[in-house]
């Protein structure tokens, strides 16, 4: 992509409405534009990040045995009357009336709808377990939308739902999702700590929230410094490995302020106590038969009797993650994208547009990296190009100036560490390719 032709409207000034770094940087780097309160348009660079996160989430859900489907954003009020949540949900739910005066709503979550789908399609114990999921826009009419995409009203969520025949199997589904989440965050390149959490609106009795630590986080968190995520990517989806993994990530104390237990906290050595703020990027729940019973969903068991499935639900805030990652990974100059989700892995900075050697090297690099690089081919000062590349946070910058170009060399800069290397073009390419 040539920067001169791109739709990446970066801003030099700091937007007045943005209170925190990620919101400021998302606007300044041209990732999103606010369309109305808590509602954002994703511009090309922002959409690339969103899509990359979505793809990692999808691959890890699939690896855990979950199956993707797509439910609509609009739901019928009657469905929510079945579970009793239509009135309970209150003002956060956007209620809509169609031309026939039928009551609809823009889904804030999908427990009712997925239960209705399984109720119609799975009739026998042989049809379970199932973990369907989708990645779909949600709407919650938040009292105070703020911090950009961190607390929007319209936001993208991955939500999975598990249906099992008994408690042991439901707990295993819960552990599979715990592993899928830890693998997802590891692949994205961030640390998110699972914390014991309250179950809130969804109901039930077992829940973990996944928090990215950041001083601007909305939740108070307490955790043991000995927490270690370990290498989730090496864990297999068999029962013994899942149990061991679950044990290892949940035995160290970690809780949100709502679930904080001062008695247990007192038993942890002071040197290991950590208190801070976290951004909730995901939450998993086990809630048993709450929806299967209220919505009368049962399957026929081996002995001909009815079994009401044990359920759980599992959310990841895909759009919130974009802001949360920036909140955790930025400096004064701009964003520092993890390699796996950067909109462009590499920026090519042509410091002397029109110089034969510079142009030739830049064109060949642009052809080499294709869609995964952004070529700053503007007629601009070098300083402006450096600032723009740092702001946008590309993991690698290939800086092409006339002195080096004459010798067939470029300067390679790693955004995260600010390391610089002067290298022949081919070596720079090899290093970026890793
Ligand atoms: P919060 O406590 O932040 O309001 P929640 O607990 O109500 O969130 P869940 O129902 O657990 O949210 O939804 C799953 C995930 O969806 C959350 O972990 C979060 O990452 C994301 N999410 C929830 N509300 C929003 C929002 N208003 N804007 C962006 N992402 C959100
Ligand atoms: Mg939550």
Q: Please report the pLDDT score of residue 49 as a whole number.
A: 98
Phi, psi for 315 (deg, rounded to 5): -110, 145
Distance CA 139, CA 146 (A): 14
- Please name every residue paired with 315 in a beta bridge, in sequence order, or none if there are none: 159, 283
**Rg of the chain on CA atoms, in Å:** 24
Give the residue extent of every domain in the chain. Answer: 3-335, 346-433
Q: Which ligand is nearest to the CA of 92?
A: 1
> Could you tell me if 349 and 397 are in contact, meaning their C-beta atoms sit under 8 angstroms apart?
yes
The CB of 151 under 6 Å from ligand 1? The reply is yes
Distance 426 CA to ligand 1 centre (A): 45
Point out the ligand 1 atom lying closest to the alpha carbon of residue 200. Answer: 6
Among 407, 339, 387, 409, which Cα is nearest to 188's?
339
User: Which residues fall within 8 angstroms of residue 403, CB to CB, at 6 or more apart?
Assistant: none
Among 179, 232, 167, which Cα is nearest to 204's?
167
Distance 274 CA to ligand 1 centre (A): 24
The CB of 278 under 6 Å from ligand 1? The reply is no
Distance 256 CA to ligand 2 centre (A): 11
Please tell me what DSSP assigns to residue 372. Answer: G
pLDDT above 80 for 237: yes
What fold characterizes domain 3-335? BirA Bifunctional Protein; domain 2 (3.30.930)
pLDDT above 90 for 202: no
The CB of 287 under 6 Å from ligand 1? The reply is no
> Could you tell me if 68 and 61 are in contact, meaning their C-beta atoms sit under 8 angstroms apart?
yes
User: Which residues fall within 8 angstroms of residue 343, CB to CB, at 6 or more apart?
Assistant: 31, 44, 45, 46, 48, 49, 52, 337, 374, 392, 394
CA 141 to chain centre: 20
Distance CA 180, CA 182 (A): 6
Mutation probe of ligand 1 site: the residue of 204, 279, 317 with most atoms within 8 A of C-beta? 317
Distance 266 CA to ligand 2 centre (A): 26
pLDDT above 90 for 346: yes
pLDDT above 90 for 229: no
Among 18, 14, 21, 16, which Cα is nearest to 279's?
21
Q: Which ligand is nearest to the CA of 160?
A: 1
Tell me which architecture the domain covering 346-433 has in CATH.
Answer: 3-Layer(aba) Sandwich (3.40)
Distance 132 CA to ligand 2 centre (A): 19
Point out the ligand 1 atom lying closest to the alpha carbon of residue 324. Answer: 20
> Could you tell me if 238 and 245 are in contact, meaning their C-beta atoms sit under 8 angstroms apart?
no
Look at ligand 1, atom 11, and give the residue with the nearest C-alpha. 283
Report angle CA 32, 37, 38 to the nearest 5 degrees: 60
Q: What is the pLDDT of residues 15-63, one digit of tens each?
A: 888 999 999 999 999 999 999 999 999 999 999 999 999 999 999 999 9
Three-state SS at 77: helix
Distance CA 169, CA 176 (A): 11
Among 397, 401, 399, which Cα is nearest to 415's?
397
Mutation probe of ligand 1 site: the residue of 136, 143, 157, 210 with most atoms within 8 A of C-beta? 157
Point out the ligand 1 atom lying closest to the alpha carbon of residue 315. Answer: 14
Q: Please report the pLDDT score of residue 4 as a whole number.
A: 95
Distance CA 345, CA 339 (A): 6
- Please name every residue paired with 397 in a beta bridge, in sequence order, or none if there are none: 347, 413
% of the chain residues with pLDDT over 90: 96
Q: Please report the pLDDT score of residue 185 as a whole number.
A: 98
Among 421, 362, 418, which Cα is nearest to 3's?
362
Among 202, 208, 205, which Cα is nearest to 109's?
202
Q: What is the edge-to-edge ordering of all strands in the sheet holding 103-106?
A: 74-76, 103-106, 94-97
* Common-topology check for domains 3-335 and 346-433: no
Please tell me what DSSP assigns to residue 308. Answer: P
User: Which residues fall within 8 angstroms of residue 245, CB to CB, at 6 or more apart?
Assistant: 175, 178, 179, 182, 230, 232, 235
Q: Which ligand is nearest to the CA of 210?
A: 1
Q: Please report the pLDDT score of residue 17 as a whole number.
A: 87
The CB of 157 under 6 Å from ligand 1? The reply is yes
pLDDT above 90 for 201: no
The CB of 211 under 6 Å from ligand 1? The reply is no
pLDDT above 90 for 7: yes
203: confidence class by pLDDT, cuts 50, 70, 90: low
The CB of 281 under 6 Å from ligand 1? The reply is yes
Distance CA 316, CA 9 (A): 28
Three-state SS at 180: helix
Q: Please report the pLDDT score of residue 199 as a whole number.
A: 75
> What is 105-126 written as a DSSP string?
EE-S--HHHHHHHHHHH--BGG
Report angle CA 240, 244, 249 to the nearest 5 degrees: 150
User: Beta strand 103-106 with 74-76: parallel, antiparallel or unpaired?
Assistant: antiparallel
Task: Name the CA dihedral angle for 354, 358, 360, 365, rounded to a multiple of 10 degrees.
Answer: -130
């Amino acid at each position: 992509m040539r920067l001169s032709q791109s739709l990446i409207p970066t801003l030099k000034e700091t937007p007045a409405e943005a209170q925190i770094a990620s919101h400021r940087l998302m606007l300044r780097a041209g990732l999103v534009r606010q369309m109305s309160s808590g509602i954002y348009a994703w511009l090309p660079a922002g959409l690339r990040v969103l899509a990359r996160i979505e793809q990692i989430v999808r691959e890890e859900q699939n690896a855990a045995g979950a199956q993707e489907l797509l439910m609509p954003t609009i739901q019928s009020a009657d469905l929510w009357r079945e579970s009793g949540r239509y009135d309970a949900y209150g003002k956060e739910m956007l209620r809509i009336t169609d031309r026939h005066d039928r009551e609809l709503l823009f889904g804030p979550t999908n427990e009712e709808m997925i239960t209705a789908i399984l109720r119609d399609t799975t009739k026998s114990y042989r049809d379970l377990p199932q973990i369907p999921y989708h990645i779909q826009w949600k709407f919650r009419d938040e009292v105070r939308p703020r911090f950009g995409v961190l607390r929007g009203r319209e936001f993208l969520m991955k939500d999975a739902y598990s249906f099992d025949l008994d408690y042991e199997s439901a707990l295993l589904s819960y552990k599979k999702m715990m592993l899928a989440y830890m693998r997802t965050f590891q692949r994205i390149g961030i640390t998110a700590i699972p914390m014991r959490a309250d179950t809130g609106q969804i109901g039930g009795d077992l829940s973990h929230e996944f928090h990215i630590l950041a001083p601007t986080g909305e939740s108070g968190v307490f955790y043991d410094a000995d927490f270690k995520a370990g290498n989730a990517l090496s864990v297999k989806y068999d029962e013994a490995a899942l149990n061991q993994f679950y044990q290892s990530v949940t035995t160290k104390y970690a809780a949100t302020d709502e679930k904080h237990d001062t008695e247990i906290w007192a038993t942890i050595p002071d040197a290991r106590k950590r208190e801070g703020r976290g951004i909730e990027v995901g939450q998993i729940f086990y809630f048993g038969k709450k929806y299967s019973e209220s919505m009368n969903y049962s399957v026929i068991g081996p002995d001909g009797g009815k079994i009401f499935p044990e359920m759980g639900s599992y959310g990841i805030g895909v759009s919130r993650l974009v802001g949360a990652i920036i909140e955790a990974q930025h400096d004064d100059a701009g964003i520092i994208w993890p390699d796996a989700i950067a909109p462009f892995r590499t920026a090519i900075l042509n410091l002397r547009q029109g110089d034969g050697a510079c142009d030739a090297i830049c064109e060949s690099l642009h052809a080499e990296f294709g869609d995964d690089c952004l070529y700053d081919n503007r007629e601009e000062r070098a300083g402006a190009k450096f600032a723009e590349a740092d702001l946008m946070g590309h993991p690698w910058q290939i800086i092409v100036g006339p002195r080096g170009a004459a010798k067939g060399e470029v300067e390679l800069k790693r955004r995260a560490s600010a390391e610089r290397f002067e290298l022949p073009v081919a070596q720079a390419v090899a290093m970026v390719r890793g």
